[in-house]
Structure 1
Amino acid sequence: MNNSKHATKDFWGFPLTHFTYFFTWAIVYGYLTLWLEQEAHLSGTESGFLFSMMAGMSLLFQPVFGILSDKLLFKKNLVITISAGMMLIGPYFQWVFKPLLHSTGAGFVAVLTGVLLSFVLNGGVSVIEQYVQRASLANKFEYGHSRMGGSVAGVVASLVAGRLFIWQPNAMFWACSISALALTCLFIFSDKVHLENASAAGDTSNSLDWKTVTSIFKLKNFWILSIFYMGASAIYDVFDQQFIVFFQTFFHSAAQGTLVYSYMTSAQTAIEVLLMIPMPWIINKIGSRNGLIIYGFITTLRIVGSALSPTYGWLIFFRLLAGLEMPLLLVSIMKYIAGAFDIRLYATVYALASNFAKQISVFVFSSVAGNLYDKIGFQHTYLILGAIVFVITLIAAFGLQKENREQAGEGKVSESTSIE
């Protein structure tokens, strides 16, 4: 009985960690564009350059963060540094951004903002994710149950940030700082890891060297996983970037389309939260490799189905499939990397094969898709994107090696670590 209570206590800090981190993520990515336009008065080109800097700078941070995370394992130096950096978001946008914009111009501010936000978000996300994933292996809970906190954060942020922006635009950035303060306190005082089980997550503090790190580049499976992520996951994001514009064409007015879109995305997020509960059990049954492949085919179906939808009702149906896609991807990729690669290199593989490869692909495909939308329209562009995802998923289906299911944690979670 005492062991059960102890294990439950050691679980709940991690979904709160996911919540506080992704609360800031949701606010920045949901409302920064609006703030840049209405408060900073940046042009579309200037705002685009800022987001490009965020993506570009993250390509520098991610490989370094991956290697450092594998070296540090459960030491909290890096995660606390990132959470402390997030506390600067409020002061930066309140007191630094606009004065610097007026004195130095948009270019320098874009670079500086890109450094800050890529450090704590685009680059830092892999550090936070892998830390919780490794903790799930050591503490014997399901990562997907912790990640539900991030999905809930998206819902809360969408409800809170808009109201804060109307009241006082800078207030939403101070909400990010307050959330980051809570995240830092969680890392320092709450997120306890059972170090007696550290070997389950790869005890690397003394054994990881440069030769071991670079060995992943010789693995065919690493490159196939990277290609899969660059295709399926990155195109998933590119497809969603201007989806609202396409969605509005099915309505008599943009306002009506926007209203229906907001209800639809809320329903999608609710589905995502609900499916996060059984998804670890489902992936344990079917295997994380199969989960990734199913995700690829569902993504293909959603993109192609959207292109062929005759009414907005069908479009809503295919959009709601995203509520299934994200739990499939988030749980499968974490378990697959843990089970198909040297566990000592978990964070490095995750940073490079997932985040690094994805950022490159998003950067390339965003420009290409944008041009295609103007030249051949949304439907034809979606058919092209869907065909690319389908081909890459086929490559993954035949090329990805099967994971070590025991090492991946695709087993039954003991009752002592239940979240009930």
Structure 2
Amino acid sequence: MDTSKTSKHFWGFPLTHFSYFFIWATIYGYLTLWMENVGHLNGMQSGLVFSMMAGISLIFQPFFGMISDKLLFKKTLILSIAIAAIFIGPYFQWAFLPLMRLNSLLVAIVTGIFLSFVLNGGVSVIEQYIQRASLANGFEYSHSRLGGSLAGIVASLVAGRLFLWQPNSIFWLCSMAAVLLVGLLLFSDKINLANAAAAGDTSNSLDMSLVRSVFKNANFWILSIFYMGAAAIFDVFDQQFIIFFKTFFTHAGDGTLVYSYMTSGQTIIEFLLMFPMPFIINKIGSRNGLIIYGFLTCVRILGSALAPSWGWVVGFRLLAGLEMPLLLTSIMKYIAGAFDIRLYATVYALASNFAKQISVFIFSAVAGKLYDQIGYQHTYIMMGVVVFVITLFAAFFLRKEDPVQAGEVSSNVQQE
């Protein structure tokens, strides 16, 4: 591939990642606090909003995957998501509270549909579009994803201060980020169409028989099981981790302060490792990257459960800064290299997002009950064992990817 023709088409994509994940980080970082302080929702009502977001996204994700595979580089769907995000500010400023006064279930349904379209469902559209652009334009997806990691850091610094000044301002900041996102999609994110075939069939010939073939692919189910057992438990483990972490401190405030420093350190590690991670995965292979991620997750969970002091817990927590770049880089390359590239978005939406959301929904309820019954340490040990068994299963049965199709080596290198 002639990289001189594609390098000029790189810089818009990290900014696209930044603008989208700034919205993501702001909403997920401060929506609960806003609903409590401004919306005056109780815990059950706030939980209902998030449940609707997760549940409705299960409807969006399969369709978004198939539509994305059909559209390929056409921006109809991704622009619809970006334009919808512009209305985040107006919705929370003028619509949320009036709807809340009418009926709490109504506001949960409307908010769930809106935010799952933009975030829970829309994230796979953004991710697969940029991954495909990376194949056509000749850059590493993880180098673009750096923009998303940076967005998390900036959102924590900026949105928190804005929330203290004027709570509604964080949603208008999301709208501004969405305007930037629309502008980038329209004027900056260019595709090297001469190499578009590297990212899929440009004839738009995708049909339902091809989509149905995914469900007959044993490797698809193995990948889904791996994601449900490893990546989902990764998220469930982190949901109430701060409560567990505070048990190591006499004063809860000290635990909160150390936790904030630890989380910042984790984010910085994640940001820095996004640079070399593509080269590491190209060396070891994306399948091996997924397996290593699974075992690292197991070590982090079991290590936290058995840690004698908070210092050990911090050490194991910082492993998450390695896990996320490892997972993001590996899964993108693996799906490209182990499945029909025409079905890239469908496989990503179903095996990654859809399966994971179902698993998080189930495991969250089970874990919450176990925390109360047997405590955090024993629950974490059970989680770690589950991750170990499922990762071992994947190590034996997950099929190896095609390194050329995955972008791990060039076709010229393989011929040599």
Note whether the superposition's TM-score is higher than 0.5. Answer: yes
Q: How far is 1:8 from its partner?
A: 3.1
- Could you report, residue by residue, the CA deviation over 1:359-380 in whole angstroms, capped at 9, with x for unpaired residues? 0000000111001111110000
2:3 and 2:77 map into 1 onto residues whose CA distance is 30
Partner of residue 305, structure 2: 307
Q: How far is 1:350 from its partner?
A: 0.1
- Could you report, residue by residue, the CA deviation over 1:170-198 in whole angstroms, capped at 9, with x for unpaired residues? 00000100001100100000000001101
Q: How far is 1:161 from its partner?
A: 1.0
After TM superposition, the structure 1 = structure 2 runs for residues 309-388 of structure 1, keeping only pairs within 5 Å, are 309-388=307-386
After TM superposition, the structure 1 = structure 2 runs for residues 15-414 of structure 1, keeping only pairs within 5 Å, are 15-102=14-101, 104-411=102-409
Q: How far is 1:204 from its partner?
A: 4.4
- Could you report, residue by residue, the CA deviation over 1:115-143 in whole angstroms, capped at 9, with x for unpaired residues? 00000000000000000000000000000
Q: How far is 1:206 from its partner?
A: 2.8
Cα contact 2:22–2:148 (8 A) shared by 1: yes
Cα contact 2:135–2:407 (8 A) shared by 1: yes
2:280 and 2:19 map into 1 onto residues whose CA distance is 27
2:148 and 2:197 map into 1 onto residues whose CA distance is 27
Q: Between Structure 1 and Structure 2, how many residues are aligned?
A: 411
Cα contact 1:73–1:205 (8 A) shared by 2: no
2:138 and 2:310 map into 1 onto residues whose CA distance is 43
Q: Which amino acid aligns with 2:288?
A: N
Q: Which amino acid aligns with 1:106?
A: S
- Could you report, residue by residue, the CA deviation over 1:200-239 in whole angstroms, capped at 9, with x for unpaired residues? 0002443211000110000100000000001100000000
Task: Call closer, same or farther: CA 1:325–1:3 in 2, change over 3 Å.
Answer: closer
Q: Which amino acid aligns with 1:212?
A: L
Q: Which amino acid aligns with 1:337?
A: I
Task: Call closer, same or farther: CA 1:205–1:177 in 2, change over 3 Å.
Answer: farther
1:408 and 1:18 map into 2 onto residues whose CA distance is 21
- Could you report, residue by residue, the CA deviation over 1:289-324 in whole angstroms, capped at 9, with x for unpaired residues? 000000000000000000000000000000000000
Q: How far is 1:354 from its partner?
A: 0.3
1:18 and 1:412 map into 2 onto residues whose CA distance is 26
1:35 and 1:153 map into 2 onto residues whose CA distance is 20
2:229 and 2:173 map into 1 onto residues whose CA distance is 34
Higher relative contact order (CA 8 A, sep 6+): 1
1:190 and 1:348 map into 2 onto residues whose CA distance is 26
Q: Which runs of 5+ in 2 are unaligned?
A: none
Q: How far is 1:105 from its partner?
A: 1.4
1:379 and 1:161 map into 2 onto residues whose CA distance is 34
Counterpart of 1:59 in 2: which secondary structure?
Answer: helix
Cα contact 1:296–1:393 (8 A) shared by 2: yes
2:361 and 2:3 map into 1 onto residues whose CA distance is 48
2:125 and 2:315 map into 1 onto residues whose CA distance is 34
Counterpart of 2:74 in 1: which secondary structure?
Answer: coil
Q: Which amino acid aligns with 1:95?
A: W
Cα contact 1:148–1:273 (8 A) shared by 2: yes
Structure-2-length-normalised TM-score: 0.97
Structure-1-length-normalised TM-score: 0.96
Cα contact 1:53–1:110 (8 A) shared by 2: yes
CA-based RMSD of the aligned residues comes to 1.3
Counterpart of 1:250 in 2: which secondary structure?
Answer: coil
Cα contact 1:140–1:413 (8 A) shared by 2: no
